[in-house]
Amino acid sequence: MALTRLTLRQFRNHDATRLDGLARFNVLVGENGAGKTNVLEAISLLAPGRGLRRAQPADMAARGGDGSFAVAAELEDGALVLATHTEPRAPGRRLVRINGAQGPATRLAEWLSLTWLTPAMDRIFAESAGGRRRFLDRLVLARLPGHARQSARYETALRERNRLLAEPFEPDPAWLDALEIQLAQNGAAIAHARAELVADLSRVLDALPEAPFARPALAYLAEHPADEEALARALREGRRRDRAAGRTLTGPHRDDLSVRLAAKDAPAAACSTGEQKAMLIAIVLAHAELAHLQTGEPRRPRLLLLDEIAAHLDPLRRAALYERLAASGAQVWMTGTEMAPFAEIAGEAALWDVRDGIASRI
């Protein structure tokens, strides 16, 4: 089961766009600024979180409209409809509907598994740990839908604890105890899921050759083990330090993903931009392979959103990319400024020419 129809209304520069007849490969071609990435962003909103651009809902509404937007996707020719929208009276609040019934955004993860790769992520290894944590959490969420709820609960408790720590008066220990229990329960689950995924990805990556994509070596860097009691104790013992800092300094919100180029045993941050891009692609492909092999729970449709991924690959790497994507079992969405890089899959792909927010089937 995968997307069979996608509809955008007043989303970015798309006034009214409908894409029908979707295939395993879906390719959007057009000049920069035509609205290709906007389509991928719209799809990314069918997962918990703020989408691939991490934009505010009000910024996604089309200029000159009423301040609202809507995105809807049909699966299995309408057997399931996932939708998200805003309303003119509350443009900053994004609502979610599943088969017409309103629900929390975290429930979207129960129906779709979404992963994406964009040019903005090319320097993720050289920037802050926050970007790497978000990348890792997106991979975990695509595998475990419950990760969204645990992360939301953890963030809520973390904000409340930080608020209490910043108060001028001494916080009530009972309130801190209650919040720290929530942080420990959800934080341990988050850290465990991250560490388990990194271990599984490492097994897949270790079995791959050094070419055609650079092979990364991964490690999950955590200050504390994924243990509720240990995390609760660390939070309790760190209250004085955290109060002085005005924020919580212990927990999975401080952890990091370590990535090294295996062939050189060099940290990813010290590698070239091309090597970093190749390692990102290798991780996403390894994740897709893991998802394809996963058993033991209801299988959700899997989507890969790959923005401008093929343009800078040579023919050998492009061929290897398409081969592994085809074997992944996922529905793939790709963008590019010209058709040439997609010639190899043109016969089996759904193709659109995008101009000024209008997508025309090729």
Q: Is 171 exposed, middle or buried (0-12, 13-18, 19+ CB in 10 A)?
A: middle
Answer whether residue 258 is part of any domain: no
What's the mean per-residue pLDDT of the chain?
94
Tokens of 292: 């394809």
Per-residue pLDDT, 224: 80
Could you give the number of structural domains in the chain? 1
Residue 337 to residue 30: CA distance in whole angstroms: 5
Domain containing residue 5: CATH number? 3.40.50.300
Q: What percent of the chain clears pLDDT 70, i.e. is strictly above it?
A: 98
Answer whether residue 185 is part of any domain: no
CA atoms within 13 A on the CB side of 93: 6
Residue 203 to residue 180: CA distance in whole angstroms: 34
Residue 288 to residue 302: CA distance in whole angstroms: 9
Confidence of residue 260 (pLDDT cuts 50, 70, 90): very high
Q: Which of 108-122, 291-305, 327-341 has the lowest mean pLDDT?
A: 291-305
Per-residue pLDDT, 241: 96
**Phi and psi, residue 95, nearest 5°:** -105, 155
User: Which SS3 state, helix, strand or coil, does residue 26 take?
Assistant: strand
Residue 112 to residue 303: CA distance in whole angstroms: 8
Per-residue pLDDT, 55: 96
Answer whether residue 240 is part of any domain: no
Asked whether residue 288 carries a pLDDT value surpassing 70, the answer given is yes
Per-residue pLDDT, 297: 59
Per-residue pLDDT, 223: 84
Supply the angle between the helices 273-293 and 315-328 in degrees, to the nearest 10: 20
Answer whether residue 201 is part of any domain: no
**Phi and psi, residue 109, nearest 5°:** -65, -20
Residue range 13-28: average pLDDT? Answer: 97
Answer whether residue 47 is part of any domain: yes
Question: Which residues does residue 220 pair with via DSSP β-bridges, in sequence order?
Answer: 257
Answer whether residue 279 is part of any domain: no
User: Which SS3 state, helix, strand or coil, does residue 184 take?
Assistant: helix
Closest C-alpha among 55, 144, 77, 142 to residue 328: 142
Per-residue pLDDT, 153: 97
Q: What is the pLDDT of residues 72-90, one digit of tens each?
A: 999 987 789 999 999 999 9
Answer whether residue 220 is part of any domain: no
Residue range 104-110: average pLDDT? Answer: 94
Per-residue pLDDT, 1: 61
Q: What percent of the chain clears pLDDT 90, i.e. is strictly above it?
A: 88
DSSP H/E element including 263: none
Q: State the chain's maximal CA–CA distance in angstroms.
A: 68
Peptide bond into 315 cis (omega under 30): no
Domain that holds residue 315: 1-112+300-362
Per-residue pLDDT, 298: 60
Q: Which of 7-16, 71-80, 153-162, 344-353 has the lowest mean pLDDT?
A: 71-80
Confidence of residue 294 (pLDDT cuts 50, 70, 90): low
H helices of the chain, in order, are: 36-44, 57-60, 129-143, 146-165, 173-206, 228-237, 239-245, 273-293, 315-328
Confidence of residue 214 (pLDDT cuts 50, 70, 90): confident
pTM to 2 decimals?
0.94
Closest C-alpha among 220, 213, 235 to residue 140: 220
Contact 282, 262 (CB under 8 A): no
Q: Is the dihedral of CA 104, 108, 110, 116 positive or negative?
A: negative
Amino acid at 40: L
**DSSP code, position 53:** T
Q: What is the pLDDT of residues 178-191, one digit of tens each?
A: 999 999 999 999 99
Per-residue pLDDT, 46: 97
Residue range 20-37: average pLDDT? Answer: 96
Asked whether residue 292 carries a pLDDT value surpassing 90, the answer given is no
Question: Which residues does residue 82 pair with via DSSP β-bridges, in sequence order?
Answer: 73, 98
β-pair type (80-87, 256-261) = unpaired
DSSP H/E element including 227: none
Amino acid at 125: F
Residue 259 to residue 267: CA distance in whole angstroms: 6
Answer whether residue 183 is part of any domain: no
